[in-house]
Each structure stands twice: as C-alpha cells, then as structure tokens.
C-alpha cells in the first residue's frame, strides 16, 4: 500500500517537529506538503521531508492534489478556517489542541462535521496515547481495586516563554487534564475551581502561578491539578489515582507503580520483544537509512567474526571448566 501523503499546516516549533516525526519515525506516511504563510520557515521545516512542496496556504495545497490528509499545527486562533477547508475537501485532519479557542466556534466545527456525515477531525490530545494513561484507564474501567475516588495530578514545566499569560495556565496547560480526566473516568467535567498556591516570585511579574485546579466529573471524581510552569528542575506530568483499595501512580520515569495489599509493585518485562523494543526500532531505523545509501550503520561482519571466535572459546570453557584464551586473526584495515 502506498504511503499516506500528509500536508503539515504551520511550520513553527510544533509543526516542524511533526514534519520530522512523520518523515523519520512513522511508517506509511510521507510529508508531501509544508504550509505556512511564512514560506521561508516552511522551507526550513520541509528540509526534513525531501520531495515535499511548500505552500503559503492550505487551499493551494489542496488544489495541487498532493495531500491525502492534513496535520494542523498553527496557533488555535487560526484553526477554524483551515478546518472548514479540510472538511470541504473531505481530508482527514489531525488538529493540534485547542480545536478552536472557544466553545462557540468549536460547536461550528462539530456542526459542520456532523453535516458532512464523516468523522474527519481528530484533536491532538496526545496523552490518550501515552502508555501510562492507557494503562490507568484500563484499571479504572475494570475495577480491580474498586471505584476511582480521586486523581491527584501534577503538570510541571521547567519554564514558559514571556508571552505566556495567566489564562494560558488553563487554555494551554490544564487543557490536557480537562480532556484526559474525562477520558480516564468516562465522565464529563461538571465543575471547576481554582486556587492559587504560594506565588513563584521568580516568574514574570504578570504571571501568578502555580495554581491548583479542581475538576469535578459528573461521576463525582475529583481531580486536583497542580499547574506549575516555572519549576525549573524538569518536565513532569504525573497522576496518582486514588481507588477504594489501592493507589496507582503513572508518569514517573520509573513507570507505573501500584500500591495494594501491603505492597508496591510494577511490571517487569517477560519477553525480549518489549525489553528491546526500542533497540530493535533504532537498529532498523538506522540500517534502513544507511541501506538507502548502499551501506550499513552498525556492527559489521568483522564484529560477527570476533564474536564467533569468543563463542568458540566460551563453549570450550563451558565444556572443560577451564579458562580459555581467545585467538583472533589480525584485523583487516578495511574495518579499522
């Protein structure tokens, strides 16, 4: 099957990242178009996608017939028009959050999509694809530890740019929890409350943070979310789920931990496929890139020989119980 030809709208930080990711890490996709009114910026992003074309607007790109699908990565206030254009052209869309900046305009998109009769618009709430959130959602749904009572969340950024405003604490940051808390609990957010924590005076004078937001779902679960955008030490997004008889924490670099029955526990690998998943992916990715240039990028035939010689000595050591020295022929210059 031929690759999906994707047009990426917006060649800023996020858009350029998507161009590189689609091209370098996602099988079955090719970035065919990079679209930005700032075509110089588009050209730069397009360097990661050889063969792609640069356009200054989505309409021209559609007209060229070079796109099967659209990824929108512009700021939220520019989404509405491009979404309508993509819907008209019946192209599947992945739209970075927010869908649009307010519920009224978002409803217009909803109405247009319903009128078209096809689900074409996906919103970029990527946490739903994070292994920790997926695992937690499964635990909440299957109830091995009873009902979920509360989610204790932290979203900590090292810093934000100076243009970041107080309202962006909600619209750009807590926004993720609005979606994922509903996704985890399968229940809409019914009410919100916000408290200021002690102000971090190192941050910009216009920005009073961190805050603590309380999300209540219709089902009665409370999520208290620490939203902290200048904690410097690192980027941390984690959630402690309080069940009737257990605690499950996701988002630590150490993985998901469960406290139940007087123990804490977590998963260990049971097969090389998960233990070395990332290694196999990296190996093949680098080999494919090298092979396109007619060569390799990894351990060579010489490495294979050296190991064969060591294995021969190893088997002898196993069978005799004696220490065995390994002999090698001299290394050809070719491999130096």
For the CB of residue 26, give the shortest distance to a second copy in the complex, in Å. Answer: 5
- For a second copy (CB under 8 A), the number of binding residues is 190
Per-residue b or e along 238-265, where b marks 16 or more CB atoms closer than 10 Å to that residue's CB: bbbbbbeeeebbbbeeeebebbeeeeee
Helix (H), strand (E), coil (C) string for 81-121: HHHHHHHHCCCCEEECCCCCCCHHHHHHHHHHHHHHCCCCE
Q: Give the nearer residue to a second copy in terms of CB position, either 42 or 70.
A: 70
- Please, which of residues 13-72 interact with a second copy by CB under 8 A? 17-18, 21-29, 50-51, 68-69
Which segment (33-41, 55-63, 136-144, 196-204) binds a second copy by CB under 8 A? 196-204
For the CB of residue 254, give the shortest distance to a second copy in the complex, in Å. Answer: 4
How far is it, in rounded angstroms, from Cα 93 to Cα 332? Answer: 54
For the CB of residue 327, give the shortest distance to a second copy in the complex, in Å. Answer: 9
Question: Does the footprint of a second copy cover residue 289 (CB under 8 A)?
Answer: yes
- Please, which of residues 204-263 interact with a second copy by CB under 8 A? 210-215, 219-222, 224, 226, 228, 230-237, 240, 242-247, 253-255, 259-263
CB 214 within 8 A of CB 192: yes
Question: Does the footprint of a second copy cover residue 77 (CB under 8 A)?
Answer: no
Q: Give the nearer residue to a second copy in terms of CB position, either 42 or 49.
A: 49
CB 39 within 8 A of CB 10: no
For the CB of residue 168, give the shortest distance to a second copy in the complex, in Å. Answer: 10
Q: Give the nearer residue to a second copy in terms of CB position, either 40 or 278.
A: 278
The tokens of 10 are what?
């917006």
- Please, which of residues 83-102 interact with a second copy by CB under 8 A? 90, 92-95, 97-102
Sign (positive or negative) of CA dihedral 133, 135, 139, 144: negative
For the CB of residue 37, give the shortest distance to a second copy in the complex, in Å. Answer: 24
Q: Are strands 222-228 and 236-243 parallel, antiparallel or unpaired?
A: unpaired
Which segment (37-45, 54-62, 128-136) binds a second copy by CB under 8 A? 128-136
For the CB of residue 119, give the shortest distance to a second copy in the complex, in Å. Answer: 5
User: Considering only CA atoms, which of 189, 77, 68, 174 is closest in space to residue 127?
Assistant: 174
Q: Give the nearer residue to a second copy in terms of CB position, either 111 or 162.
A: 111
Q: Which long-range contacts (CB under 8 A, 24 or more apart) does 257-264 make?
A: 260/145
CB 150 within 8 A of CB 221: yes
How far is it, in rounded angstroms, from Cα 60 to Cα 64? Answer: 6
- Please, which of residues 132-191 interact with a second copy by CB under 8 A? 133, 145-150, 152, 154, 156, 158, 166-167, 169-171, 174-175, 178-179, 182-183, 188-191
Cα-to-chain-centroid distance, residue 84: 26
């Amino acid at each position: 099957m031929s690759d999906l030809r994707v047009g990426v709208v917006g060649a800023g930080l996020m858009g350029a990242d998507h161009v590189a990711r689609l091209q370098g890490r996602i099988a079955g996709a090719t970035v065919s178009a990079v679209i930005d009114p700032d075509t110089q910026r588009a050209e730069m992003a397009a360097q990661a996608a050889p063969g792609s074309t640069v356009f200054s607007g989505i309409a021209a790109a559609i007209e060229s017939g070079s796109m099967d699908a659209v990824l929108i990565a512009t700021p939220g206030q520019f989404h509405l028009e491009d979404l309508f254009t993509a819907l008209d052209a019946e192209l599947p869309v992945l739209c970075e959050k927010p869908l649009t900046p307010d519920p009224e305009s978002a409803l217009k998109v909803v109405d247009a999509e319903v009128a078209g009769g096809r689900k074409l618009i996906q919103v970029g709430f990527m946490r739903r694809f994070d292994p920790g959130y997926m695992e937690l959602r499964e635990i909440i749904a299957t109830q091995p530890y009873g009902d979920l009572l509360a989610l204790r969340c932290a979203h900590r950024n090292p810093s934000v740019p100076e243009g970041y405003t107080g309202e962006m604490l909600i619209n750009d940051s807590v926004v993720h929890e609005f979606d994922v808390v509903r996704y985890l609990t399968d229940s809409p957010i019914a009410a919100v409350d916000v408290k200021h924590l002690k102000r971090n005076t190192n941050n910009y004078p216009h920005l009073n943070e961190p805050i603590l937001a309380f999300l209540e779902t219709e089902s009665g679960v409370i999520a208290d979310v620490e939203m902290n955008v200048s904690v410097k030490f690192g980027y941390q997004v984690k959630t402690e789920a309080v069940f009737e008889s257990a605690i499950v924490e996701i988002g630590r670099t150490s993985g998901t931990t469960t406290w139940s029955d007087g123990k804490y526990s977590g998963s260990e690998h049971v097969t090389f496929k998960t233990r070395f998943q990332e290694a196999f992916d990296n190996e093949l990715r680098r080999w494919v890139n090298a092979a396109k240039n007619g060569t390799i990028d990894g351990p060579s035939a010489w490495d294979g020989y050296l190991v064969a010689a060591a294995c021969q000595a190893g088997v002898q050591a196993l069978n005799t119980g004696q220490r065995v020295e390994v002999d090698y022929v001299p290394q050809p210059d070719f491999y130096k």
